[in-house]
Amino acid sequence: MVEVRDGQTGRDFLAVNKIINGNDPNYIQPLDKDILDVFDEKKNKAFRHGEAIRWLLKNDEGKLVGRIAAFVNKKYKNKGDDGPVGGVGFFDCVNDQSAADMLFDVAKHWLLQKGMQAMDGPVNFGERDRWWGLLVKGFEPPIYCLNFNPPYYQELFENYGFKNYFNQLCFALNVGRRLQEKFYLRHAECAKNPDFSAVHIRKDQLDKFAKDFTIVYNKAWAGHGGMKQLEEKVVRKMFKAMKPVMDERISWFAYYKNEPIALWINLPDLNQWFKHLNGKFGLLDKLKFLWVKKTMKCKKFVGLVYGVVPEWQGKGVDSYMIVEGAKVVQRLKIENGEYKPGIPIYSDYEMQWIGEFNPKMINLAEGLGTYRSRILTTYRYNFDRAKEFKPHPALL
């Protein structure tokens, strides 16, 4: 077992992921910088409240056969937790239980020394919108910053003693299909009222939309499932970072009397382009990215955030916003008084994961006519093996 302490071991840590997954045709190598940034104290604000450590595992011949990271973060807490919980992530390993056990053991012992009572994994040292959960179903090319792993990892985790803390569900749909009739009916009801409006994001008005995003997000999500209040300046920074790859036509906001009440934020699936860069993003790679982006059509877009403020839920606002968006994304045409999809600007759509503990959001996602495209699992391992295991409680 080798702790990652310098440039060479850092590069080896990145290499293990490709060594394990590289022969899978569905594998898309993550950008090195996206992984390295997690462990950079200057770039990851999680270091303000915690710390991280990484290890490599080599076999008797000195070949790399595994890796793991462990984290403690005072801000990491889930509903129902009754003690401090640490995390493990960026796990990769050959199909050998003894090797996996060595990796889990070293992480467990470090977390015990830090006063933790359990460990969740695989999770990220930071935000939950990336590198979270073990892929257990839907081994297709991953969307940007979504974990990808061989199927046998599930056995490695469960044989060690990890238990399913919660499932993470991804939803997808064929963009060319007509929406369910209920969307058009609810849209028509809202459209009768001139106080309702829906617009797509504008790159030349990002500050305005950052403010509107903050309002909706904090009303709809803050305080649920570990989500915290967002500051407007953080959202402005996020939007600025997204701007170079943003497609204005696929991110929408709904308003009532000019007050933001719903949002639907999407991006092109960056992995459609990044898969051609082999994990690199230096100057020449950035130039190649621009060329690839210009010459190769992205066929999939990805749902990042979707929701309605509580006081407007169940009143058709989501349908109104989605049909307004579909007019552009699906190039809707009216034939014999009915909306008919034209040739869509993207062919496929997939949403970021929703925790199985959040039935309201799952109902919203399924109401779009989606199917469950992937399942990832967040596992928990209680250090006190006699302690009753409790899965993540449902959000009511």
pLDDT, tens only, 72-124: 999 999 988 999 999 999 999 999 999 999 999 999 999 999 999 999 999 99
The confidence score (pLDDT) of residue 226 equals 55
Query: Residue 225's pLDDT band (boundaries 50, 70, 90)?
Result: low
Q: Which ranges in 32-178 belong to alpha helices (H)? A: 32-36, 97-113, 153-160
Paired tokens of 318? 């989501």
Kindly indicate the confidence band of residue 143, based on its pLDDT and cuts at 50, 70 and 90: very high
> Helices (DSSP H) in the chain: which residue ranges?
7-21, 32-36, 97-113, 153-160, 181-191, 206-220, 232-242, 271-274, 283-295, 317-329, 359-366
Give the mean model confidence (pLDDT) for residues 247-253: 97
Query: How many of the other CB atoms lie within 10 Å of CB of 98?
Result: 6
Neighbours of 323 (CB within 10 A): 22
From the CB of residue 174, how many other CB atoms can be counted at a distance below 10 Å?
Answer: 13
**Contacts (Cβ under 8 Å, ≥6 apart) of 129:** 145, 304, 352
Task: Report in angstroms the alpha-carbon separations of 216 from 78, 206, 372.
Answer: 22, 15, 26
82 token code pair: 């009754």
CA distance 396 to 392: 12
pLDDT of residue 324 exceeding 60, the answer is yes
DSSP tag of 29: P
For residues 53-70, give the mean pLDDT: 97
Do 16 and 67 touch, CB atoms closer than 8 A?
yes
Q: What is the pLDDT of residue 325?
A: 96
- Per-residue model confidence (pLDDT) at position 27: 98
Residues contacting residue 325 through CB under 8 Å, at least 6 positions apart: 198, 200, 250, 252, 264
List, in order, residues 6 or more apart from 315 with CB less than 8 Å away: none
**Beta carbons of 138 and 324 less than 8 angstroms apart:** no
pLDDT above 80 (res 224)? no
